[in-house]
Amino acid sequence: MKITSNKKQVAIIMGSASDYPIMRDAEKILRLLKINFDTKIVSAHRTPYRMFEFAKNAHKRYKVIIAGAGGSAHLAGMVSSLSRLPVIGVPIETKSLKGLDSLLSVIQMPKGIVTATVAINNANNAGLLAAQILALFDKKVEKKFTEFRNKQTKSVKIKPKK
Ligand code: RP5
């Protein structure tokens, strides 16, 4: 008997719809690697109860969480504190401080609670890191990720075009 499941491998969450143009890059790379995901808006400040509910139950549906936020970007850290899943934070660029505020908010976690952090706006790399985590125990993802890496390596020319 086939057991159907609505489980997804990755949750992509973001503090605001305004983060979506950047967070789409995580969706794109996950799609390329045939990794299924859900995408949701979950704000640490504007929807704290939604964030709590999401984070407390995330391990029932997902294996990795990608969390993007900008400015006083507490989403990834707070979700890390509430969930045992690995959380990858994406600091979103801001107008006032160019995303340095977001970067420091996401990366400077206290000892004992971990958030992996990618470069400002680099949701693509968050997707890749999620894939690398999944590849540890998922042969299909491992194969897709290795193919991606090999293709990328081959695409780098030895000489720049004149
Ligand atoms: C953060 O505030 C969001 O993650 C977003 O990056 C930033 C601005 O949000 P909006 O004012 O555009 O909704 O919470």
Task: Determine the distance separating the centroid of ligand 1 and the alpha carbon of 68, expressed in angstroms.
Answer: 10
Q: Which of 4, 69, 61 lies closest to 38 in space, CA to CA?
A: 61
**Inter-residue contact 46 to 71 (CB < 8 Å):** no
Whether pTM exceeds 0.85: yes
Ligand 1 surroundings by CB, under 6 angstroms: 14-16, 18-19, 43, 69-71, 92
Ligand 1 center to 46 CA (angstroms): 10
- Cα atoms in the Cβ-side hemisphere of radius 13 Å centred on 92: 27
CA 159 to chain centre: 34
Mutate to test the pocket of ligand 1, among 13, 14, 16, 41 (most ligand atoms within 8 A of CB): 16
Supply the pLDDT for residue 135. 98
> pLDDT at position 5, please?
55
Domains in the chain with CATH codes: 10-154 (3.40.50.1970)
- Helix count and strand count (H, E) for the chain: 6, 5
Strand (E) or helix (H) holding 40: strand 37-41
What pLDDT, on the 0 to 100 scale, is given for residue 3?
A: 47
Residue by residue, pLDDT tens for the chain (162 residues) are: 454 456 899 999 999 999 999 999 999 999 999 999 999 999 999 999 999 999 999 999 999 999 999 999 999 999 999 999 999 999 999 999 999 999 999 999 999 999 999 999 999 999 999 999 999 999 999 999 999 999 999 999 999 986
